[in-house]
Structures are given as C-alpha cells and as structure tokens.
Amino acid sequence: MALIGYARVSKDEQNLDLQLDALKAKGCVRSFTDKLTGTKFEQRKQLQAALTYLNEGDTFVVWRLDRLGRSMVDLINTVMELKKRGIEFMSLTENIDTSTAVGKMFLQFLAMLAEFERNLIVERTKAGLEAARARGKVGGRPALSANSTRVQVAKRLFADKKNSVKDICKTLNISRPTLYRWVNLPETS
C-alpha cells in the first residue's frame, strides 16, 4: 500500500519542484513526471507508466486535478479505472481522497457529470442531424464511383507491381484500407 505520485508541467521551461515537493511531503514513495501539454492523454508516457506501475491497495496522488487531465472524460475514466483495480485516488490541492466518504461522494458526482455531458452531446447530435435532414442534407460518406479519377489512378498504380502499397498511399495521400477499398470497387459503365 504505497502512495505513488504524478506531476506534470506543460512546457520544458516550467519547473516541477512545487508539485514534487508536495507529493514528497504527502509521503509518495515514487513519482512519475511529464513535461508536455495535457491535451494528449495517450502521449503522456510517464502517466501511462505510473498507471501501469500501480498495484491494488496503492493510492495515486496528484498535486491538482488538472495535472491528471484537462478533459473531464479522461479524468473520470482514469479515476474510475483505478477504482476498479482497487487503487485509491488523491488530489492534494482540491483535498480529494477516494478512500474517504467525501471522496467517494465526489467520485460519484464526477460520474454523474460525465453521464450528463454524454447525454447532452447525444441530444445535440440528434438535434443537429434532424435540422440537417429538414434542410435536405444527407449524412455519411459520399458514394465513391469506380470511375472517379483518383480511384482509376489508384487501380493503375496498384496493378503495376513495381509500386509498393506504401508508396501508392503516400502519393495519393490515402490510408492503406482506403487503397484496398478503392481497388476492389467494381467497374461501372
């Protein structure tokens, strides 16, 4: 049962000392650090390492909630995943500790907010689609004809075995699945 810390600053020139001192004072036996913006959750390698390092019974400690995630969804998903693994969460500045009754209530409140946010997004999406349909718009990817110029070029390049799939995709600025979808389109008259 260890306290494991995580600290993050957005830029290399910023200093982690304040956060690391607070984590150490709280009793963290190990702290992981990242120096990059909080918008790319998956790209924070040390956060991923910290989450992997944690064991059941440990407590994951951050100096402030926004150090863990700027997105409410990322924050909630992370804390809920920790809870499933038997790991508590603590934020020092906001005085949140999921091992306490108030901390558990906060966690439930965050989950309710996340569900509310998801419901609002669904409602706005439905309303937008209905409004677009009322104006005669149809959603989805436009139908692609096997006779389109780009498809014909892709088929010719693909047929010439001197061209690698990678080079064709790079030349046409398309993905590998798109290339295969295009070359398998049936010819139309």
Sheet with 30-35, edge to edge strand ranges:
30-35, 3-9, 59-62, 88-91, 96-97
Q: For the residues 160-187, what does the mean pLDDT come to?
A: 91
Q: What is the mean pLDDT of the chain?
A: 87
pTM: 0.61
The verdict on residue 127 lying in a domain is no
List alpha helices for 70-189, DSSP H: 72-84, 101-134, 149-159, 165-172, 176-183
pLDDT score, position 9 = 87
Residue 162 sits in the same domain as residue 78: no
DSSP annotation string for 21-58: HHHHHHT-SEEEEEES-TT-GGG-HHHHHHHHH--TT-
Q: How many residues does the chain have?
A: 189
Tens of pLDDT, residue by residue over 61-110, are 999 888 887 677 778 888 889 999 999 999 999 888 999 998 888 878 87
The share of the chain scoring above pLDDT 70, in percent, equals 95
At 118, the pLDDT band (50, 70, 90 cuts) reads confident
Residue 29, domain member (yes or no): yes
- pLDDT tens sequence across 43-69: 788 999 999 999 999 999 999 888 887
Chosen domain end from 111, 136, 163: 111
Structural domain includes residue 92: yes
Domain shared by 99 and 157, yes or no: no
Q: Tell me if 128 sits within 8 A of 139, measured CB to CB.
A: no
Residue 158 pLDDT greater than 80, yes or no: yes
Same domain, 86 and 8: yes
User: Which of the two residues, 142 and 129, has the higher pLDDT score?
Assistant: 129
Task: Count Cβ atoms below 10 Å from residue 97 Cβ, excluding itself.
Answer: 18
Confidence of residue 39 (pLDDT cuts 50, 70, 90): low
In a domain, 34, yes or no: yes
Residue ending a domain, among 58, 89, 111, is 111
* CATH number of residue 39's parent domain: 3.40.50.1390
Contact 122, 92 (CB under 8 A): no
Are 18 and 74 in contact, with CB atoms under 8 Å apart?
A: no
Domain final residue pick, 86, 111, 136: 111
Domain carrying residue 178: 149-183
pLDDT at 189: 57
99 is catalytic: no
pLDDT at position 38: 56
Flag whether 128 is in a domain: no
Structurally, how many domains does the chain consist of? 2
